[in-house]
Chain A
Amino acid sequence: MAEEVAKPEDLAQVDYRPPAKDWRDPAVEFRKGVFCYSAAPKHLQYLGLPNPRPWHPSDADWKLPADWKRIILEGMKERLDRFRSFRLFMDICVRCGACADKCHFYIGSGDPKNMPVMRAELMRSVYRRYFTPAGRILGPLAGGRELTEDVIKEWFYYFYQCTECRRCSVFCPFGIDTAEVTMMGRELLNLVGCNINWILEPVANCQRTGNHLGIQPHAFKDAIDFLVDELAEITGVRVEAPINRKGAEILYVIPSAETFGTPHYYTLLGTLLLFHAIGLDYTLSAYASEGGNFGLFTSHEMMKRLNAKIYAEARRLGVKWILGGECGHMWRVVHQYMDTMNGPADFLEEPVSPVTGTRFPHARSTKMVHICEFTADLIHNGRLRLDPRRNDHWVATFHDSCNPARSMGLIEEPRFILRSVCRRFHEMPENTIKERTFCCGSGAGLGTDENFEMRMRGGFPRANAVKHVRDRFGVNLVACVCAIDKATLPPLLEYWVPGMHVAGVHELLGNALVVEGENERSTDLRGEPTGAAGASAGPQPEGARE
Chain B
Amino acid sequence: MAEADRGLAPLTRALAARKDAIVAGWLSRTLESYPERNRRFLLQERDAFRNPAGHAFREALPALLDELLGAMDCARIEALLDGIVRIRAVQDFTAGQAVAFVFLLKKVIRDELRRPAHTAFFPSGGEDKGEGEGLAAVEGRIDEMALLAFDLFMRCRERVYEIKAAAAGRRTFLLDRMQARRP
List residues of A whose CB falls within 8 A of some B CB: 14-18, 20-21, 31, 34, 100-101, 106-112, 115, 222-223, 226-227, 259-262, 265, 429, 431-432, 449, 452-453, 456-457, 460-461, 464-465, 468, 487, 490-491, 494-496
Residues of A within 8 A of B160 (CB): 452-453, 456, 495
**B interface, size bucket:** 35 or more
Residues of B within 8 A of A468 (CB): 48-49
Residues of B within 8 A of A457 (CB): 90-91
**Known contacts A457-B90, A461-B49; A262 and B173 CB within 8 A of each other:** yes
Contact of B172 among A16, A17, A260, A495 (CB under 8 A): A260
Q: Is there an interface contact between A261 and B34, defined as CB atoms closer than 8 Å?
A: no
Q: Is there an interface contact between A262 and B170, defined as CB atoms closer than 8 Å?
A: yes
Contact of B174 among A31, A34, A110, A265 (CB under 8 A): A265
Residues of A within 8 A of B164 (CB): 449, 452, 491
**Known contacts A16-B97, A112-B37; A261 and B42 CB within 8 A of each other:** no
**Known contacts A260-B172, A431-B49; A109 and B91 CB within 8 A of each other:** yes
In the complex, whether B183 has a CB less than 8 A from a CB of chain A is no
Residues of B within 8 A of A110 (CB): 34-35, 38, 42, 53, 91
Q: Is there an interface contact between A431 and B50, defined as CB atoms closer than 8 Å?
A: yes
Q: Which 9 A-B pairs have the closest CB atoms?
A: A262-B173, A464-B52, A14-B96, A112-B37, A16-B100, A456-B90, A110-B38, A260-B174, A16-B33
In the complex, whether B3 has a CB less than 8 A from a CB of chain A is no
- In the assembled complex, the Cα of A283 lies from the Cα of B39 at a distance in Å of 55
CB<8 Å pairs between A and B, sample of 12: A14-B94, A16-B97, A20-B36, A107-B51, A226-B177, A227-B174, A429-B49, A457-B90, A461-B50, A491-B164, A491-B167, A495-B156
Residues of A within 8 A of B92 (CB): 31, 34, 109, 111
Determine the residue in chain A with the shortest Cβ distance to B42. Answer: A110
Q: Is there an interface contact between A265 and B173, defined as CB atoms closer than 8 Å?
A: yes
Q: Mark B152-183, 1 if CB is under 8 A from A, else 0.
A: 00001001100110111011111101100110
Residues of B within 8 A of A496 (CB): 86
Determine the residue in chain A with the shortest Cβ distance to B39. Answer: A110
- In the assembled complex, the Cα of A33 lies from the Cα of B73 at a distance in Å of 34
Determine the residue in chain A with the shortest Cβ distance to B37. Answer: A112
Judged by DSSP, the binding face of A is helix
Q: Is there an interface contact between A18 and B53, defined as CB atoms closer than 8 Å?
A: no
Shortest beta-carbon distance from B130 to chain A in Å: 25
Contact of B52 among A15, A111, A461, A495 (CB under 8 A): A461
In the complex, whether B74 has a CB less than 8 A from a CB of chain A is no
Residues of A within 8 A of B121 (CB): none
- In the assembled complex, the Cα of A265 lies from the Cα of B173 at a distance in Å of 9
- In the assembled complex, the Cα of A492 lies from the Cα of B70 at a distance in Å of 35
Q: Is there an interface contact between B35 and A432, defined as CB atoms closer than 8 Å?
A: no
Q: Is there an interface contact between A261 and B173, defined as CB atoms closer than 8 Å?
A: yes
Contact of B49 among A20, A226, A432, A495 (CB under 8 A): A432
Within B60-116, which residues are at the interface with A (CB < 8 Å)?
A: 86-87, 90-94, 96-97, 100-101, 104
Given A16-B100, A110-B34, A110-B35, 9 further pairs, Cβ under 8 A:
A31-B92, A262-B170, A452-B163, A456-B90, A457-B91, A460-B53, A461-B52, A487-B171, A495-B90
